[in-house]
């Protein structure tokens, strides 16, 4: 292949990679989140995974599933990251992480269904509750500081958060069950 041909082939490969990554990045993030404790950790491992996946992209068979292929890379990257961070972070033990990763690889469809159900459940939530849980998950905001600011206790705020999480999870279970029974 001439130089021009190689360049065209390289660009086509790059376009395919970008397309695959764009389509699967949210699912990949969800998978990594099931292994690591914070958003920063997830960002880091997603970035590493994307770089490794790009380097190894020639090995990827377009007839197979990119998400599953990339998730296997992500699993190793998460384990490597865990070893680096294990000294000072609350991360899962290696055996736990291995099991979580192995089982998580089989659950992409379930996770997607839960995501769609959550959107519906959040919409149905009373405005005040929805805004509370959104606030609790706003980056950089400390529940303890907010509680202190409003003259309450962090425990009260965490308890409320726990109840709302449970409420959302119950709603998701119902929605997913309804969807499955309709199939």
Binders of other proteins among 53-82, rule CB under 8 A? Answer: none
Under the criterion CB under 8 A, does residue 178 sit at the interface with other proteins?
Answer: no
Give residues 14-33 in contact with other proteins (rule: CB under 8 A). 14-15, 18-19, 21-23, 25-26, 29-30, 33
Nearer to other proteins, 2 or 127 (CB): 127
Applying CB under 8 A, among 87, 109, 182, 183 the residue interacting with other proteins is 87
Distance between CA atoms of residues 140 and 134, nearest Å: 12
Nearer to other proteins, 69 or 121 (CB): 121
Applying CB under 8 A, among 50, 74, 125, 172 the residue interacting with other proteins is 172
Nearest-5° angle of CA 23, CA 24, CA 28?
160
In this chain, which stretch among 1-9, 59-67, 68-76, 124-132 interacts with other proteins, using CB under 8 A? 124-132
The values of phi and psi at residue 79, to 5°, are: -65, -40
Nearer to other proteins, 2 or 165 (CB): 165
Applying CB under 8 A, among 84, 120, 177, 180 the residue interacting with other proteins is 84
Alpha-helical runs (H) found in the chain: 3-33, 39-55, 66-85, 94-104, 108-124, 127-136, 143-149, 154-182
Distance between CA atoms of residues 102 and 96, nearest Å: 10
Nearer to other proteins, 7 or 115 (CB): 115
Distance between CA atoms of residues 56 and 100, nearest Å: 24
Nearer to other proteins, 79 or 132 (CB): 132
């Amino acid at each position: 292949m001439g130089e021009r041909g190689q360049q065209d082939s390289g660009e086509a490969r790059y376009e395919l990679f970008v397309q695959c990554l764009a389509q699967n990045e949210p699912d990949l993030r969800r998978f990594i989140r099931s292994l690591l404790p914070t958003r920063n950790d997830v960002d880091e491992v997603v970035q590493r995974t994307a770089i490794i996946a790009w380097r190894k992209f020639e090995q990827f068979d377009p007839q197979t599933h990119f998400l599953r292929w990339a998730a296997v890379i992500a699993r190793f990257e998460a384990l490597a990251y865990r070893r680096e961070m294990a000294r000072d972070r609350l991360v899962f033990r290696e055996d736990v992480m291995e099991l979580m990763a192995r089982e998580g690889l089989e659950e992409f469809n379930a996770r997607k269904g839960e995501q769609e159900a959550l959107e519906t459940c959040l919409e149905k939530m009373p405005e005040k509750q929805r805004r509370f849980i959104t606030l609790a998950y706003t980056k950089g905001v400390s529940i303890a500081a907010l509680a202190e600011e409003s003259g309450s206790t962090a425990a009260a705020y965490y308890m409320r958060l726990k109840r709302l999480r449970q409420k959302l999870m119950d709603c998701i279970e119902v929605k997913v069950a309804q969807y499955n029974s309709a199939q």
